[in-house]
Amino acid sequence: MSIDTLSSDDLRDAMVDRLIADQAGKGLALRPEVEAALRAVPRDLFTPGVSLEEAYQYDTAVITKRRGDQTLSSVSAAWLIAEMLGQAADALGGLRGRHVLEVGSGGYNAALLRELVGPSGSVTTMDIDPDVTDRAVACLAAAGYNDVAVVCADAERPVEPVRRFDLIIVTAGAWDIPPAWTAQLSADGVLVVPLRVFGMTRSWALRPSGDRLVSHSQRLCGFVSMQGEGAHEMRYVDIADGVHLRLDEGQQVDPVAVGALLSQPRVQTWVGVSLPPQTVNADLDLWLASRLTGDGARFVVLTAGQAAIDADVVAPAWQFGTPAALHGGTFSYRSALRWSDGAFDLGACAHGSDAAAAAGRMAAHMRAWVDAGTPPPVLHVLPVSTPDGDLPAGMVVDKRHSRLVLTFTPV
C-alpha cells in the first residue's frame, strides 16, 4: 500500500508506533493512556492546509502562523507532545479527573488532554493571539471537542483568579515563571513548562514544595517563544561567517574579540570515556553551565550553520546549541563526539592564549559528570524575594519573577 492510499487512521497508528519506538530508544516508555489518546485524536484536523503525510510526521512541528521568517504558532512535533504529556502524567500519577490549564493554544494538545482527563476532568486552553484561539475553537469543534474552554488572554495574568488547576502545561517557550502560574496551581499540582536557562530550553515538570517548586523530571525541547508581558528576547551575535553566540541572561561579549580568538589555532582535548548512545548529553550541557559559571567563566551557547561546520570553522557537539565559555583570553566549547565500537567519547575545543588549559578545564568538568554517574539536573524555583541564605547550593540564575537554582543532587 502506498502512502497516498493510507487513511488518516493508518497514518495516525503509524505515527504512534514510531513514538513508541522513539521513546524506547531514549529509555522511556509511552504510558498506555497517552498512547490511547494519541491514537484517538485526529491530528490532521488540527493541521489544515498540509498533507496527511506531513500532519502525521512524528518528529516535525507544523507551523500554523508566521510573521516574515518568524514562527509565531505551530502544532508541536508529536514526539515532544508525547514526552510532555508523559511528564505530566508521571508526576501526577495519571491525569484522569484532573483540571488542566494549557498556556499556548493550538487545539491538538488540548484535545489530547481532554481525552486524558476524562468526563470528570476539565481542560482550559489559553493564548494571547486571537488568531490562534479562533483557530483552536474551529479545530476543536471540527474534531468534536466542544467542552474545552478556550480563552484569549495574556498568561502573565491569572485566567480565573480564584481557580486552581491540578496541571498547568505550557506549550510556549518561557524565560521565567510568573506568579500567576504558581498562584493558580493546586497544592499538589504540577507545572510542566519549557523554560530557558542560559538559552537552553528544557521541559521541566515542577511540583510545589513549601515556598518553592522543585523539578520531578526534565526533557530537551524547543518551542516558539512566549509573547506578551512574559516575552524575553534572546540575542544572537555573529563571531564568524555562519557562527553565532546565543545570549539569554544578560551576558555581554565583544563579538570582534571572540571572532579573533576563534581565528587562532584550535586545541582539541578528549575526556577518554566510552559512553553508550542512550547517555543524555543534554544533562551534561546544564552541568557545564553550572560548573563553568562557577569557575568565573562567561557561559554562552554556540550555534553554527552547516556550511561553517563543513568548512571546519567550528566542530560543535550540536549545531543548534553547544555549551561554550569565555574565560580570560580563551574561547572553549564542547566538541562533536568521537565514536568507536558503538560508544562515544566527549571532547572540548579551545582557542586563545591558553587554549590547552581551557580545553582541559572543560574536559575535567565533563569527566566529573561521568564520574558522578551522569546525574540529571534538579531545578528549584523560588520567589524573587528569597534571600541568598535561603537558597539551596547550586548555580543561581536570577529572573524577573523568580530565582532559579540548578543542582545535581536528588531531592
* pLDDT tens per residue across all 411 residues of the chain: 445 557 999 999 999 999 999 999 999 999 999 999 999 999 999 998 899 999 999 988 777 666 666 555 677 899 999 999 999 999 999 999 999 999 998 899 999 999 999 999 999 999 999 999 999 999 999 999 999 999 999 999 999 888 999 999 999 999 999 999 999 999 999 999 999 999 999 999 999 999 999 999 999 998 888 999 999 989 999 999 999 999 999 999 999 999 999 999 999 999 999 999 999 999 999 999 999 999 999 999 999 999 999 999 999 999 999 999 999 999 999 999 999 999 999 999 999 999 999 999 999 999 999 999 999 999 999 999 999 999 999 999 999 999 999 999 876
Same domain, 40 and 116: yes
Q: Do 216 and 250 fall within a single domain?
A: no
In whole angstroms, give the CA distance from residue 203 to residue 180.
19
Q: Could you tell me if 130 and 244 lie in one domain? A: no
Please check whether residues 49 and 126 belong to one and the same domain: yes
DSSP for 203-219, please give it.
EEEEEEETTEEEEEEEE
Look-up of cell digits 488572554: 153
Residues 88 and 177 in one domain: yes
Instruction: Report the chain's C-alpha Rg in angstroms.
Output: 22
Q: What is the DSSP letter of 347?
A: E
CA-CA distance, 310 to 315, in Å (whole number)?
Answer: 9
Residue 117: burial class (beta carbons within 10 Å; 0-12, 13-18, 19+):
buried
Residue in 73, 203, 225, 335 annotated catalytic: 73
Helix/strand/coil percent split, the chain, to 5: 30, 30, 35
Q: Which of 258, 314, 237, 322 is nearest to 288 (CA)?
A: 322
Phi first, then psi, for residue 125 (nearest 5°) are: -120, 135
Q: d(Cα 403, Cα 177) in Å, to the nearest integer?
A: 10
Residue 389, domain member (yes or no):
no
CA distance 128 to 151: 8
pLDDT at residue number 1: 40
Looking at the structure, do residues 27 and 170 belong to the same domain, yes or no? Answer: yes
Closest CA to 135 of 152, 158, 119, 123: 152
∠ Cα 372 375 377 (to 5°): 135
pLDDT of residue 61: 79
197 and 52, same structural domain? Answer: yes
- Whether 47 is covered by a domain: the verdict is yes
CA 196 to chain centre: 7
Model confidence over 199-251: pLDDT tens digits?
999 999 999 999 999 999 999 998 888 999 999 989 999 999 999 999 999 99
Return the amino acid letter for 403: R
Q: What are phi and psi of 150, to 5 degrees?
A: -115, 125
What pLDDT shows up at residue 6? 75
Report if residue 411 sits inside a domain: no
What is the predicted pLDDT for the residue at 368? 97
CATH number at residue 83: 3.40.50.150
Strands 343-345 and 347-352: unpaired
Domain boundary (192, 220, 248) is at 220
Cα gap 47→118, rounded to integer Å: 24
Domain end call among 196, 220, 244: 220
* Residue 167 phi, psi (nearest 5): -140, 130
Three-class secondary structure of residue 135 per DSSP:
helix
Q: Looking at 190, 220, 250, which one is the last position of a domain?
A: 220
| b/e code 129-139 from CB counts within 10 Å (16+ = b) | beebbebbbeb
- 8-25 helix and 32-40 helix, angle to the nearest 10 degrees: 150
In a domain, 401, yes or no: no
Q: Which long-range contacts (CB under 8 A, 24 or more apart) does 238-241 make?
A: 240/308, 240/313, 240/314, 241/308, 241/313
Residue 310 lies in a domain: yes
Residue 189 and residue 285 in one domain: no
Share of the chain above pLDDT 90, in %: 88
Residue 353 domain-assigned (yes or no): yes
CA of 148: how far to CAs of 47, 84, 126, 138, in Å?
Answer: 18, 19, 10, 12
Q: Could you tell me if 203 and 263 lie in one domain?
A: no
- 73 noted as active-site residue: yes
Helix (H) or strand (E) holding 152: strand 149-152
Residues 175 and 68 in one domain: yes
pLDDT of residue 225: 86
> Which domain range does residue 77 map to?
8-220
Q: Is residue 230 part of a domain?
A: no
296 DSSP assignment: T
pLDDT of 83 reads: 97
Question: Number of folded domains in the chain?
Answer: 2
Shared-domain flag, residues 145 and 261:
no
Joined together, the cell numbers standing for residue 237 give 551575535
Same domain, residue pair 321 and 197: no
Cα 239 from chain centre: 25
In this structure, is residue 3 part of a structural domain?
Answer: no
